[in-house]
Structures are given as C-alpha cells and as structure tokens.
Amino acid sequence: MSVLEVLNERGFVEAVTHEGELKEYLEKNNATCYIGFDPTGSSLHVGHLVTIMALAHMQRNGHRPIALVGGGTGLIGDPSGKTEMRKVITHEQVDENKRGIKGQLSRFLDFSDGKALLLDNADWLTGLEYIPFLRDIGRHFSVNRMIKAESYKMRIESEEGLSFIEFNYMLLQAYDFMKLAKSHDCMLQMGGSDQWGNIVAGIDLVRRTQGKTAFGITFPLITTSSGIKMGKTHKGAVWLDPERTAPYDYYQFWINTDDADVAKFMALFTFMPMEEIKEVEALEGAQMNAAKAVLAYEATTIAHGAEAAQKAFEAAASVFGAPTIPEGLCGSSSIPRGGSGAVSAESVPSSSIDMSRLEQGIAAVDLFVETGLSKSKGEARRLIGQGGGYLNGERIDTFDQPISNGDFKDGEILLRAGKKRYHKIVA
C-alpha cells in the first residue's frame, strides 16, 4: 500500500496535484517531502498534529520528511487564512522556538542518520538580494493571478487590508520549494488547505525554473463535529510541550472528544490499524467511552511516551474510575485492560500548604483561589454556591466552610471544582 493510499484512507487528503503522476512518483522513489512550520510559538499544538502525523506516515513508508521551519518567512507572516496581520518576531525568538519545535517533532519523527531533516528557510532567505530576486523569481509571478488566490482574496477584501510584505509571502514560499527541490530533490510539499495557493505557486516556480514536475498535497481543516477548529479549547491551544500542557491534560483533551469524532481522530492521530478503527465507528453508548480511552492513551503515548500515557491513564482512572476496555476492542493498543490494580493520582495537580494555617482552618473559598481552581473569590463563591465545589468527594455546602487538618484523608485533601478539575493538597 502506498503512502498516498494510507493518507487517503486515514482522512489526511483534501486535495492533490497531478494525482496519477504523484502516485507513480511515490511508488517508484524514496521521495523527499516537506511541510513548513511557523516558528511563531515555542511549541507546536494539536492543530499542527495533522501535518506532523502526515510526515510521520511518510517516514514510516520509506520516504524522507523535511520539517521546514519558517525562520525567514516567520519574519513576514503568512496572510493565508488570517483576518489580521501577524506579529513580526525576532531572530532570537525564532531560534528559541526552533529548538522547542525540533524537540517535539522528535517524538513523531526519527531525525537520526538524516532520515528526517529540520531545515530553516532563514538560511537562504535572509541573504536574498532584492534586485536579483525580482529578476529571477519575481518575473515568474503574475499579480493578476496572485490577487485572485483565495489566500489573499480574503485579506484584500478585509478592512485591514494586506500589507506589501505579506503579499510577498507567496513568492518566498515558492522560493523555498524551488530551493528544496534543487538541493534535496524534494518534489512534494504538503500543508493545510489554506496553503494550496502557496504550494501551487511553488510547483509553478519549480516547473518554470527547473522544468520538473513537483507535487502538492493539502490536508483538510480538521474541525470537531460541532464545527469548531480542532485543538482549541477555552483555555487556548492544547500544546505538545508537556511544560505547557501536562500529559494528563493532553490525555483529558482526547478523552473529551465528541463521540462523532472518535474514529476520525483515531485514524488521523494514532497509528492504529484501520480495521480496528472501523470497528470503533460502530460502537454505541458507554462503549464509546472505552474507545475514547484508547484514543487518548495512544495519542498521549505518541506525543509524550508510554510512561506518561500510563500515568495519565492511571490518574484519570483514580478520579473517574478505571474504564473497562473490552478485550476485542482495538487489540493493537497497549492500553491497560481489566482495571489495573494500584492506581496513583500523581498527575493530578497538587500543592502543599503551611500546616499551621490549616490548623486554624481555611475558608473553602480561599483555598479554591489559592490552589488555582478559581481565579477570584467571587468565582469560588459562585462555584460553591452552585454546588460545584467538592472536598474529598463531598459537596461543600457553604462557601466559608473551614477546611482544616482534620480533613486530611490518606495524607491529602482532594479538592474538586466542577466535574473535571481536581487539586490535591499534601501535607
């Protein structure tokens, strides 16, 4: 089975250029392909996962993926799909972000022995000279055509407009492709559907300058079944950096997937075989929860390692109860089955507190604020007033209920806000 089929089957493909030829190309060659990553943040997030997984599939099928960090283009900002101009970032930030990004990608890609590459387009873009660039590259672009591109249209029609530097983004990205085609024989670029215009521009440029056919694949924008762009939660992005999104929260993010999305996400964000995923589609009711646990476990394993996934699983089990995963379900997953014995909740956020203060008793509201479960006293008061505050599993009745060292159970006080947020206080 070729990569293209794998990607297709798993729902990665939105559009492909020269489908037949690309298929042939991928079957005959150990191809090199690339995807660009914006170094605007120090961490990638779940929104990047589709592209990352696509690269991983490429590598697993014998091709060589290149993750291209836009250190040069990042200084400009891609207007595609954005309604407003992006902040320009500094070189130092880019360097720092690059390090973070590589670390995270290493979980998904094997960078050893040049099996995957991390390149930075700043290496060739920052040295460009204006006049030669215009003469050699600019002449291949038609403004008429560019302004018709979907990626620019929106901005051109917007109130804010499109700045000149952003307008040049397409040329630079096309230049990247051309450069990589020449230096690494990289003939395939992939990207989100908003990148279509940029990718096609690159393919064009490769053809005009080198007379070769390059290819492009775009991925669909993954939305949840409720139509929201996936990976954003009220708290902001779900990061791949464990410092920013703890593995436990990462795990929880996947657990909270909509029923309707579970199978889709399994196909996209795990390496589980499609036969098993098809079975998941048919699940109903509470069984779906078991499938979600598998999804969360697998996704967490990929992003943070088996150990972290195990811990997250156990922590979740200790607060929500261990899920029963039927034997027949998702056989390839190494998720613990049949309720593992000792469950620890060490991934639940915890803090310690000065014992002398506890002796006097601390009002519940204050404790909720101190532990970060509530942002302000008003919020804590509201929470408890509405019945959302719990102490060791018991609902707290009044907001000023004192909590003291008499409330320790097994050496800890377990506070809970609402259904899902916990905090442990240890002596």
Instruction: Write down the least CB distance from residue 106 to RNA, Å.
Output: 28
Calculate ∠ Cα 168-174-175, nearest 5°. Answer: 90
Q: Which tokens belong to 21?
A: 């030829």
Rounded Cα–Cα distance for residues 383 and 319 (Å): 20
Binder of RNA out of 62, 321, 372, 406 (CB under 7 A)? 321
Is residue 82 annotated as a catalytic residue, yes or no?
yes
Catalytic residue among 23, 60, 86, 184: 86
| Residues 229-248 within binding reach of RNA (CB under 7 A) | 234
Is residue 189 annotated as a catalytic residue, yes or no?
no
Residue 33 in contact with residue 186, Cβ under 8 Å?
yes
Catalytic residue among 229, 375, 409, 420: 229
Is residue 235 annotated as a catalytic residue, yes or no?
no
The residues pairing with 418 across neighbouring beta strands, listed in sequence order, are none
Half-sphere exposure in the Cβ direction for 178 (13 Å, CA): 23
Binder of RNA out of 44, 214, 383, 391 (CB under 7 A)? 383
Rounded Cα–Cα distance for residues 151 and 254 (Å): 31
CA nearest 43: which of 106, 94, 2, 104?
Answer: 104
Under the binding rule (CB under 7 A), the answer on residue 419 touching RNA is yes
Under the binding rule (CB under 7 A), the answer on residue 388 touching RNA is yes
Is residue 18 annotated as a catalytic residue, yes or no?
no
Scanning 331-412, the segments in alpha helix (DSSP H) are 355-360, 364-370, 377-385
Residue 384 in contact with residue 396, Cβ under 8 Å?
yes
Query: Which is closer to RNA, CB of 157 or CB of 243?
Result: 157
Under the binding rule (CB under 7 A), the answer on residue 258 touching RNA is yes
Instruction: Write down the least CB distance from residue 383 to RNA, Å.
Output: 6
Instruction: Write down the least CB distance from residue 126 to RNA, Å.
Output: 27
Residue carrying the six token digits 């014992």 = 355
Rounded Cα–Cα distance for residues 177 and 32 (Å): 12
Is residue 377 annotated as a catalytic residue, yes or no?
no
Query: Which is closer to RNA, CB of 205 or CB of 369?
Result: 369
Binder of RNA out of 223, 375, 394, 409 (CB under 7 A)? 375
Catalytic residue among 48, 64, 304, 421: 48
Is residue 86 annotated as a catalytic residue, yes or no?
yes
Give the other-Cβ count within 10 Å of 64's Cβ. Answer: 19
Binding pattern for the stretch 277-316 against RNA, x by CB under 7 A and - elsewhere: -------xxx-xx--xx----------------------x
Binder of RNA out of 226, 282, 328, 393 (CB under 7 A)? 226
Report residue 245: phi and psi, to 5°: -130, 110
Q: Give me the DSSP letters along 257-294.
A: --GGGHHHHHHHHS---HHHHHHHHT--TTHHHHHHHH
Binder of RNA out of 165, 320, 392, 408 (CB under 7 A)? 320
Residue 371 in contact with residue 325, Cβ under 8 Å?
no
Segment interacting with RNA (CB under 7 A) among 20-28, 32-40, 143-151, 380-388: 380-388
Is residue 93 annotated as a catalytic residue, yes or no?
no
Is residue 73 annotated as a catalytic residue, yes or no?
no
Residue 198 in contact with residue 174, Cβ under 8 Å?
yes
Is residue 17 annotated as a catalytic residue, yes or no?
no
| Residues 147-176 within binding reach of RNA (CB under 7 A) | 159-161
388-395 contacts, C-beta under 8 A, 24 or more apart = 388/417, 388/418, 389/364, 389/415, 389/416, 389/417, 390/414, 390/415, 390/416, 390/417, 391/364, 391/415, 391/416
Under the binding rule (CB under 7 A), the answer on residue 381 touching RNA is yes
Under the binding rule (CB under 7 A), the answer on residue 340 touching RNA is no
User: Which is it for strands 15-16 and 186-192: parallel, antiparallel or unpaired?
Assistant: unpaired
* Binding residue count for RNA, defined by CB under 7 A: 40
Report the catalytic residues.
40, 45, 48, 82, 86, 173, 194, 229, 232-233
Which residues would be at the binding site for RNA (CB under 7 A)? 159-161, 226, 234, 252, 255-259, 284-286, 288-289, 292-293, 316-317, 320-321, 323, 369, 375-379, 381-383, 386-388, 417-421
